Chains A and B, each alone.
Chain A
Amino acid sequence: MKTDSAYILYQPLSIALTMDMLGGSLTQRIDELSGDFDPDRSVTPLVLSPHLEVSDPDGIITVSDQSSNLIDCRWYLATDDSDETKRITSSTSGFTLGEAGRLTVRRNVEDYAPLHLYFSCAFIDPRTQRIYRKQHQLTLTSTRSADLKLSLELDVADKMPISPFKNFGQRTIHATLRNGEDIIPIDGVNAFCRWQIWDKTNRVLNVASSTNDIFVDAITNDSITIDRRYIDREVLVCEVWHVLNPDKRLRKRVKMYRWYGAWDDRCVITRGKFVRPDTDEFEVMAIVDTDKGQVVDPAKYFDITHVFTTNERGAPQTVVGYGETVVVPASIAGKDPNVIPVFGIETKERTALRAVTIGNKEVQIDGKTVCIQIPKES
């Protein structure tokens, strides 16, 4: 018998394996501040789902998605399948194997240790029973970044008028650094603070120091204590930066100035207003009024000079005393009833306490700096 054979031929399949990522991506972010992973795969895992796309030129395999028909699915913690000890099994922590090669990743990846994953699978061509093998390799990584939305607060207004009538003594100014709503401690570890004082003469900012600046009593990591008695006009600058972003400096400026407010002075003859032959002295009192009332003990805050003169043309003005009250003999007015004695005062604000210097060196007594207040020229 003579025979002849026929051959059943199929065109080869076109097969593509891709990896679907559900609930995340290959990269995580590690928050520098909290150390948290975003997303945290232990809470919201990443699911890797192989997707096999088959194209049959002969049109026999009509369904192109053959993912559910994958067989011999293996995952490795490696870049290849050469080491069976690196194969992911049901006992590998942080991973769960599912149907059709699906892998649930619950492991977070540190930025210094990227995690390589290798997937291998097979597909049997239902037409020919030929086995196709496919592989896929991917790497899970992390990046560190800080989500900084920094803001700086001082517990003082931008302008700080210092009334000589009150506010005496120390005042501590605190700096608060926030990232969003969270307070970042300014502790020299997480964040740093530098207090600076504007040098009017050289027009530069100098770092504040309790040794060099007379009005600075103490400086801590996040605060400065000032003594308001020594401040005439100063500009204090607080500069803060986060350890993770030292280039970004946050600054707040506080203008501090001695401020008397509105005031008016007058003098009153409290004794000797009417001079009779038996009147032996005048008593003149200086009174200073502010919008809050009469100043008690005005000589404490003002430099008051008492002057005597008369109504005569060209009469000299004679200084007869200083302070709130002066007492002068009545003889100063003379005996002529046509010559009217006139008393007056000159009231000047005082500067803040200033160090007494000789040859640019502070004068000290028993280790303490000698200070004075100087009348201000209006």
Chain B
Amino acid sequence: MKPVKVYLSPKSVADHLHLTEIRLQTPEGLYILSSQDIRAYGREEALHDGAVEMSIEECKETYNHLIER
């Protein structure tokens, strides 16, 4: 695993952080949040609430079509 991670988070977490407008949403309805984003919510709490950790590399490979250049 790479040290830099993103979090595929359920809408409830993104809503709580008021980030639904500015974060990418995956076809599965999850929001891609950064580790800085998640810090305010609490990493452990976010994972408990359904967020999934993913390396930047994996995220780019999986959701490359969503990422604007």
Q: Measuring CB to CB, which residues of chain A are less than 8 angstroms from any residue of chain B? A: 22-25, 31, 33-34, 36-40, 42-45, 47, 93-94, 96, 104, 106, 147, 179-182
Chain B residues lying within 8 Å of A38, measured Cβ to Cβ, are: 4, 34-36
> Which residue of B has the minimal Cβ distance to A102?
B22
Within 8 A of A (CB), among B25-39: 32-37
Chain A residues lying within 8 Å of B19, measured Cβ to Cβ, are: 22-23
Indicate which residue in A44, A147, A181, A182 contacts B6 across the interface (CB closer than 8 Å). A44
B2 at the interface (CB under 8 A from A): yes
What's the least CB distance linking B25 to chain A, in Å?
12
- On whether the beta carbons of B34 and A43 are closer than 8 Å, the reply is yes
Chain A residues lying within 8 Å of B63, measured Cβ to Cβ, are: 43
9 shortest A-B CB distances, which residue pairs?
Answer: A39-B34, A44-B34, A36-B4, A38-B4, A147-B3, A47-B22, A34-B2, A36-B56, A23-B22
- Distance in angstroms between the alpha carbons of A37 and B5 in the assembled complex: 10
Q: Which of the four size classes fits the interface of chain B?
A: 20 to 34
Chain A residues lying within 8 Å of B68, measured Cβ to Cβ, are: 42, 96, 106
- On whether the beta carbons of B36 and A24 are closer than 8 Å, the reply is yes
Within 8 A of A (CB), among B44-68: 56-57, 59-60, 63, 67-68
Indicate which residue in B1, B3, B22, B32 contacts A43 across the interface (CB closer than 8 Å). B32
Chain A residues lying within 8 Å of B69, measured Cβ to Cβ, are: 42, 93-94, 106
- Distance in angstroms between the alpha carbons of A38 and B69 in the assembled complex: 17
- Distance in angstroms between the alpha carbons of A181 and B2 in the assembled complex: 9
> Which residue of A has the minimal Cβ distance to B19?
A23
- On whether the beta carbons of B3 and A33 are closer than 8 Å, the reply is yes
- Distance in angstroms between the alpha carbons of A96 and B68 in the assembled complex: 10
- On whether the beta carbons of B4 and A31 are closer than 8 Å, the reply is yes
Indicate which residue in B3, B22, B34 contacts A31 across the interface (CB closer than 8 Å). B3
- On whether the beta carbons of A44 and B33 are closer than 8 Å, the reply is yes
5 new A-B contacts at CB < 8 Å, known A25-B36, A106-B69 = A33-B3, A38-B35, A40-B4, A42-B68, A44-B32
- On whether the beta carbons of A40 and B2 are closer than 8 Å, the reply is no
Chain A residues lying within 8 Å of B32, measured Cβ to Cβ, are: 43-44
A22-B22, A93-B69, A104-B22 known; A44-B4 Cβ under 8 A:
no
A23-B23, A34-B2, A182-B1 known; A39-B35 Cβ under 8 A:
yes
What's the least CB distance linking A141 to chain B, in Å?
15
Chain A residues lying within 8 Å of B24, measured Cβ to Cβ, are: 43-44
- On whether the beta carbons of B36 and A43 are closer than 8 Å, the reply is no
Indicate which residue in B1, B34, B37, B56 contacts A181 across the interface (CB closer than 8 Å). B1
List, sorted by A's number, 17 A–B pairs whose CB atoms are closer than 8 Å.
Answer: A23-B22, A24-B34, A31-B3, A34-B3, A38-B4, A39-B36, A43-B6, A43-B34, A43-B59, A43-B60, A43-B63, A44-B34, A45-B22, A94-B69, A96-B68, A106-B69, A147-B3
